[in-house]
Amino acid sequence: MPRISRICRSITAVLAILVLGLCLALTPGQAQNGPITPPPSEDGFNPFAPLMRLFGVTERERPVQEKAPAAVRPPRQPSGPPAFVAAPKDPDAGVILVVGDLMADGLTEGLNYILAQKPSVKVEKLTEPGAGLLGTPPVAWADRVQARLAAGDVRAVVMMLGSTDVLAAPAPASPAPATGADPAAPAQPPVQSAGAAVPELGSPAWREAYRQRLGAVIQVVRRERKPFLVVGLPPAEAPETAQGFQLVNDVLKSTAEGARSTYVDIWTVFLDDNEAYAVFGPDVEGQRRRLRANDGVGFTWAGYRKVAFFVERELARVLGGYGNQAFEGVADDPDFIVLTGRTVPSDDTLAGGPEVVDEFAPEPPASVRAAQRFLVLGEAPEPVPGRVDATLLDPR
């Protein structure tokens, strides 16, 4: 019995030492606020687990760290034109000639992409990236277009330019009055000759010079009886530049429509819902894309593709499509009204409509004018003696 008592006392002493060591390993906050959760070892093994269960001590559960799901990034949109293979063009394919500045270069790429699978039509460009209608010296656009039309395969001319005329326009000058002159008298504009300094942007002299330069190009195209389309400028980010672009658009539209040509308005399609300048917007497929370049003037590829969409729609209208017979019988001639395949100017009506004077077109012969009065205005021609419509008796 004494031996058993000594063994029990030894076991009790060992247990007391273990419990004392466990209590010393705990912080005061852990010993008071329970449940007691001793820290586990680095390898996860706890030698005091049986003893802890005996005294009701629970182990601390380790929080399971879940990996955050990787962020799904949208596919990067291409900044340039997509790769495509154009269909072989017919030997006698009609040419769409694009004339203008740097914007005309981008428009050419967009039209090439749209018309890539149409073998009966191809696109060529006649561009000067830093040139406009005016300048010192100005580019001879009329002569260059006439030289290209002499080849005989051009079916329509598209012009897009004018941004350089605004961005490089001279600032309004306010010269000091000369000695002895009346300060209250209005300043006289300097006399300018051809190729001299460009008039002030928006002035009457500037409008007249711009109208004459554009009219010269239209006259060359209409002399060859080809459709002419002029594309307006888009809104710009800077308010001063946007105001200048609107001045250019006013002259482009009035001159083109007065000469029975087509004006393609792209101003509103590049505005947001609040009618303000927008960098992003829907492309031709309805996807939200970046349409404008960083300079606040030009376009990205998606933007030029959108401009080309509206231009191609007008081309198909005036040309009647791009089939084998697309370019036959639908020349932009005011003496013909084609009831299918294209539209006529809104000023033309079948009866009683006002006559629109084309100051750039040559005077048609008398027979053509008589046919136009009969077909458009409904006026019968003059009776001819001996014809069935001559109701007067022969004076003989």
| pLDDT tens digit sequence for 211-227 | 999 999 999 999 999 99
Kind and range of the H or E element at 246? helix 239-258
* DSSP output for 336-395: ---SSSS---TT--SSSPPPPP-TTSPPPPHHHHHHHIIIII-PPPPP-TTSTT--SPP-
Strand positions, DSSP E, 161-287? 228-231, 262-264, 280-282
Looking at this protein, which amino acid is placed at residue 113? Y
d(CA 44, CA 46): 7
Pairing mode of beta strands 94-100, 154-160: parallel
Give the pLDDT band (50/70/90) at residue 137: confident
d(CA 50, CA 54): 6
Distance in angstroms (rounded) separating the CA atoms of residues 351 and 167:
46
Proportion of the chain above pLDDT 70, given as a percent: 60
**Residue 83 scores a pLDDT above 50:** yes
Question: Using 50, 70 and 90 to split pLDDT, how confident is the model at 57?
Answer: low
d(CA 241, CA 19) in angstroms, rounded, equals 86
Q: Indicate if the pLDDT at residue 74 is higher than 60.
A: no
Residue-wise pLDDT for 213-265, tens only, equals: 999 999 999 999 999 999 999 999 999 999 999 999 999 999 999 999 999 99
Whole-number pLDDT of residue 44: 58
Q: Give the model confidence (pLDDT) of 314-372 as tens digits.
A: 999 988 877 655 554 444 444 444 444 444 444 443 433 444 444 445 556 777 777 77
The amino acid at residue 183 is: P
Q: Is 130 helix (H, G, I), strand (E, B) or coil?
A: coil
What does pLDDT average to over the chain? 75
Structure tokens at 67: 């990996």
pLDDT higher at 285 or 327: 285
**Coil, strand or helix at 281:** strand
Mean pLDDT to the nearest integer, 277-288: 92
Q: In what order do the strands lie in the sheet with 154-160?
A: 121-127, 94-100, 154-160, 228-231, 262-264
Size (the chain), residues = 396
> Residue 86 — left, alpha, or beta (φ > 0 → left; ψ -120 to 50 → alpha)?
beta
pLDDT for residue 230: 96
Residue 231: other Cβ atoms inside 10 A: 28
Q: In sequence order, which residues have a C-beta less than 8 Å from that of residue 234 and are 6 or more positions away?
A: 245, 266, 267, 270, 292, 299, 307
Q: Is the pLDDT of residue 59 over 80?
A: no
Task: Name beta bridge partners: 289.
Answer: 281
Under a CB-based contact definition with an 8 Å cutoff, are residues 179 and 216 in contact? no
Alpha-carbon distance of 320 to 343, in angstroms, equals 9
Helix (H, G, I), strand (E, B) or coil at 157: strand
pLDDT band at residue 11 using 50, 70 and 90 as cut-offs: confident
**Which band of pLDDT confidence, cut at 50, 70 and 90, is reported for residue 192?**
very low
When pLDDT is cut at 50, 70 and 90, the band that residue 70 belongs to is low
Burial code (b: 16+ CB inside 10 Å, e: under 16) for 64-94 equals eeeeeeeeeeeeeeeeeeeeeeeeebeeebb
Question: What is the reported pTM?
Answer: 0.61
Q: Band of the pLDDT at 14, cuts 50, 70, 90? A: low
